[in-house]
RNA sequence: GCACUCUUAGCUUAGCUGGAUAGAGCAUCGGUUUGCGGUACCGAAGGUCACAGGUUCGAAUCCUGUAGAGUGUACCA
């Protein structure tokens, strides 16, 4: 339910009825419990415009306000705040509906759009490392979220499969023969070995250079080697995606090489648009106000990533028909994207109404605030990190339940991977992220385990109850009121999170929701003796809607839940 | 040099379409239970929202400047 919008509609109607002409000012969540559920602060802003005192304006609005069964009361406070209380019966009925609905009462967009989300983008010449983690899970969350809200999401994994290093790599692959398959398991090592050969052996180096040219000119033998290399390397990535529980498949891969043939046209079109200028032998676009140009063709005739990105933008906007194109890439590339987006718009590669956004995120740091590295200063392989998460999760869930080794492994996997994802998604993506095992595997605070624990605890109530939950929700006290309103806010939160591409808004919401539930549950017993059946069922249903909301929220974050832990 | 980003409690942070006393968690101190999963809940203490101006009835939030940190800065991606 779009709760805020519904409340807003009431205010808008009141404006119309009172004959106030002003741009709509929206209600906000009440800042304090004693101020009700929502507050409208617009009267103060209107005071100057209407040349009236704000309390009087508030009174006028109030006089015209029709509650529509939704509001219980509205009061003026302070200099002209209007505090709004939702009607408990209306809340109860709305929650009832949500509880019985598969989508928890959350609607699908009326005007869905095609949205491209570009994320993960590993380099085929290297192993996936922690640097790819944030892009992969933030991007996946955004894609899940938009999809859930009804947009047609096109996931794009823009893998790096082109460049001079591949000449060296396939030359080495060829030299290794059948053995190559095995050694490709450790790409990092493979790369090092190939580089070693390249530096030590002139003949090999020449062959490597020759192979670069041959791939580019479409030599069959070299292309076969190259394809084999990409295939194996991509397989490693898929192993990571599988472990990470991320929705990226081979169909989502649209590699750099995919745009090769269109690069010439990009440059031609820029030339036609009169945007091209030669500088030191390179073809450049000089944007007004920018010191450094966007180079689209090197002096040696080669193309750059800006060219590929322009080709990709063209493809996504015109062939795929996307109206929103989101790049989930490290914040350090913000300058690059700002330029490329500008060029694409000015050259008409992308229509004006297409939203281009760089969903930037900060660097992953270790506990001491330095960039995340292994003890000897190397990059941490993502697959190792994920395996460690599962091992650590196992140690954290010393459960009273008697699990078989297989069950424990399964739960540890969900919990461990979930913890890694949640901790990352829970902070504002633009700030640097401090990676801390102890914090992420703690049961306290805004953590994945606190959510998992709450969910499992609710499931335990249901197991104990053992019957169908069919009753009527009745709002019994202040806490139930707060919990129910929080449950109804879910759609608002998801929409805002989608608009801002901000997963942490979802985690913040879930945390508030669970905290409220815990307080509610602490004070309002469900299965204890002395609770009448009617109240019991109402509370069970609130618990059920809470659990479903947790599950749905986590699902959007790409995290599964477990019934016991 | 120039550009962009950041600076909120000891630590990690939320809040940024301007609103009423800036929210949390960790750590610290104290409390709750014959406990529906206590890996929970309640409370205390802890803040010149980097600093200085400005706009406004009202600023953590918008603007300008200063300081500190980070990042980017012509043929890598």
Report how far apart the first and last C-alpha atoms of chain A are (Å, whole number). 32
Residue A318 is assigned to a structural domain of this protein:
yes
Contact A188, A381 (CB under 8 A): yes
User: Among the residues of A363-489, which ranges form H helices?
Assistant: 382-396, 405-425, 437-440, 448-465, 478-488
- Give the bridge partners for A284, in sequence order: A277, A295
Give me the phi and psi of A383, to 5 degrees please. Answer: -65, -35
pLDDT of residue A22: 79
pLDDT of residue A101: 97
A276 with A412, same domain: the answer is: no
Domain count, chain A: 4
Contact A73, A30 (CB under 8 A): no
A274 with A329, same domain: the answer is: yes
Digit-coded pLDDT (tens) for A318-353: 999 999 999 999 999 999 999 999 999 999 999 999
pLDDT of residue A399: 61
Digit-coded pLDDT (tens) for A151-209: 999 999 999 999 889 999 999 999 988 776 677 778 888 999 999 999 999 999 999 99
A529 with A449, same domain: the answer is: yes
Host domain of residue A203: 165-241
Write down which residue in A208, A241, A274 finishes a domain.
Answer: A241
Which residues lie below 8 Å from residue A182, measured CB to CB, with a gap of 6+?
Answer: none
In chain A, positions 53-112 with C-beta closer than 7 Å to nucleic chain B are 77-79, 81, 83
Residue A414 is assigned to a structural domain of this protein:
yes
Residue A465 (CA) to nucleotide B6 (C1'), in angstroms, measures 51
A422 with A517, same domain: the answer is: yes
Residue A154 is assigned to a structural domain of this protein:
yes
Residue A519 CB lies within 7 Å of the nucleic strand B: yes
Residue A155 (CA) to nucleotide B7 (C1'), in angstroms, measures 35
Cβ count within 10 A of residue A533 = 8
Between strands A364-365 and A81-86, the pairing is unpaired
What would you measure as the largest C-alpha separation in chain A, in angstroms? Answer: 89
Residue A306 is assigned to a structural domain of this protein:
yes
Digit-coded pLDDT (tens) for A503-534: 999 999 999 999 999 999 999 999 998 899 99
A471 with A334, same domain: the answer is: no
Between strands A282-285 and A294-297, the pairing is antiparallel
Q: How confident is the model at residue A366 (pLDDT cuts 50, 70, 90)?
A: confident
Comparing C-alpha atoms, which of A555, A561, A523, A559 is closest to residue A542?
A523
The CATH code of the domain that includes A400 is: 1.10.730.10
Give me the sign of the Cα torsion angle A344, A350, A352, A356: negative
Residue A99 is assigned to a structural domain of this protein:
no
The angle, 0 to 180 degrees and rounded to 10, between the axes of the packed helices A490-500 and A3-18 is 90
- Positions in chain B where some atom is under 7 Å from a protein CB: 1-7, 12-17, 19-20, 24-27, 36-37, 39-42, 57-58, 70-77
A257 with A395, same domain: the answer is: no
Residue A555 (CA) to nucleotide B46 (C1'), in angstroms, measures 37
Distances A53 to A15, A82, A302, A452, A547 between C-alpha atoms, Å: 16, 14, 67, 51, 47
A279 with A130, same domain: the answer is: yes
Residue A397 CB lies within 7 Å of the nucleic strand B: yes
Digit-coded pLDDT (tens) for A233-286: 999 999 999 999 999 999 999 999 999 999 999 999 999 999 999 999 999 999
**ipTM metric:** 0.96
A52 with A137, same domain: the answer is: no
A169 with A155, same domain: the answer is: no
The helix/strand/coil state of A95 is helix
Digit-coded pLDDT (tens) for A469-492: 999 999 999 999 999 999 999 999
pLDDT of residue A176: 87
Residue A265 is assigned to a structural domain of this protein:
yes
A41 with A187, same domain: the answer is: no
pLDDT of residue A296: 97
A310 with A429, same domain: the answer is: no
The gap from C-alpha A374 to its chain's centroid, in whole angstroms, comes to: 27
Residue A522 is assigned to a structural domain of this protein:
yes
Q: How confident is the model at residue A431 (pLDDT cuts 50, 70, 90)?
A: confident
A214 with A140, same domain: the answer is: no
Whether the pLDDT of residue A303 is over 90: the answer is yes
d(CA A38, CA A85): 7
Residue A372 is assigned to a structural domain of this protein:
no
Which residues lie below 8 Å from residue A384, measured CB to CB, with a gap of 6+?
Answer: none
The CATH code of the domain that includes A132 is: 3.40.50.620
Residue A462 CB lies within 7 Å of the nucleic strand B: no
Residue A367 (CA) to nucleotide B48 (C1'), in angstroms, measures 29
């Amino acid at each position: 339910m779009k709760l805020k919008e519904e409340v807003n509609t009431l205010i808008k109607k009141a404006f119309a009825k009172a004959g106030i002409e002003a741009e709509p000012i929206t209600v906000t969540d009440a800042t304090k419990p004693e101020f009700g559920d929502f507050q409208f602060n617009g009267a103060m802003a209107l005071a100057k415009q209407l040349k009236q005192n704000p309390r009087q304006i508030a009174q006028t609005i109030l006089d015209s306000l029709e509650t529509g069964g939704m509001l219980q009361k509205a009061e003026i406070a302070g200099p002209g705040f209007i505090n709004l209380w939702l009607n408990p019966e209306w809340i109860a009925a709305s929650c009832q509906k949500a509880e019985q609905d598969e989508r928890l009462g959350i609607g699908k967009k009326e005007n869905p759009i095609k949205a491209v989300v570009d994320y993960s983008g590993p380099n085929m010449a290297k192993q996936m490392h922690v640097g790819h983690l944030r892009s992969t899970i933030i991007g996946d969350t955004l894609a899940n979220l938009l999809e859930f809200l009804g947009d047609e999401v096109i996931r794009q994994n823009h893998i790096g499969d082109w460049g001079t290093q591949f000449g060296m790599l396939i030359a080495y692959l060829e030299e290794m023969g059948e053995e190559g398959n095995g050694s490709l398991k450790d790409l990092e090592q493979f790369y090092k070995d190939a580089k070693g050969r390249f530096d030590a052996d002139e003949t090999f180096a020449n062959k490597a250079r020759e192979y670069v040219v041959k791939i580019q000119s479409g030599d069959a033998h070299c292309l076969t080697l190259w394809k084999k290399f990409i295939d194996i390397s991509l397989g490693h990535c898929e192993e990571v995606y599988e472990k990470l529980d991320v929705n990226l498949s081979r169909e989502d891969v649209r590699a750099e090489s995919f745009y090769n043939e269109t690069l010439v046209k990009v440059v031609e079109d820029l030339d036609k648009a009169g945007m091209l200028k030669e500088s030191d032998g390179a073809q450049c676009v000089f944007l007004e106000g920018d010191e450094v140009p966007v180079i689209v063709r090197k002096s040696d005739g080669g193309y750059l990533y800006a060219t590929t990105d322009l080709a990709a933008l063209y493809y996504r906007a015109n062939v795929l028909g996307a109206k929103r194109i989101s790049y989930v890439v490290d914040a350090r590339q913000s300058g690059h994207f700002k330029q490329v987006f500008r060029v694409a718009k000015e050259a008409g590669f992308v229509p004006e109404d297409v939203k281009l956004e760089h969903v930037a995120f900060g660097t992953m740091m270790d506990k001491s605030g330095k960039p995340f590295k292994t003890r000897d200063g190397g990059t941490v392989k993502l697959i190792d990190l994920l395996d460690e998460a599962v091992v650590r999760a196992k140690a954290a869930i010393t459960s009273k339940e008697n699990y078989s080794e297989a069950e424990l492994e399964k739960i540890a996997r969900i919990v461990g991977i979930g913890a890694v994802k949640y901790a990352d998604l829970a902070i504002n993506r633009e700030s640097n992220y401090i990676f801390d095992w102890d914090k992420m595997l703690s049961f306290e605070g805004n953590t994945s385990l606190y959510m998992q624990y709450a969910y499992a605890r609710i499931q335990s109530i249901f197991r104990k109850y053992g019957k169908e939950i069919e009753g009527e929700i009745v709002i019994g006290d202040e806490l139930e009121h707060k919990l129910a309103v929080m449950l109804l806010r879910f759609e608002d939160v998801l929409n805002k999170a989608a608009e801002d591409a901000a997963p942490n808004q979802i985690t913040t919401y879930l945390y508030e929701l669970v905290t409220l539930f815990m307080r509610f549950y602490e004070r309002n017993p469900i299965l204890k003796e002395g609770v009448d059946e009617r109240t019991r069922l109402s509370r069970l249903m609130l618990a059920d809607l809470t659990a479903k909301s947790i599950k749905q929220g986590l699902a959007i974050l790409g995290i599964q839940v477990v019934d016991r832990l």
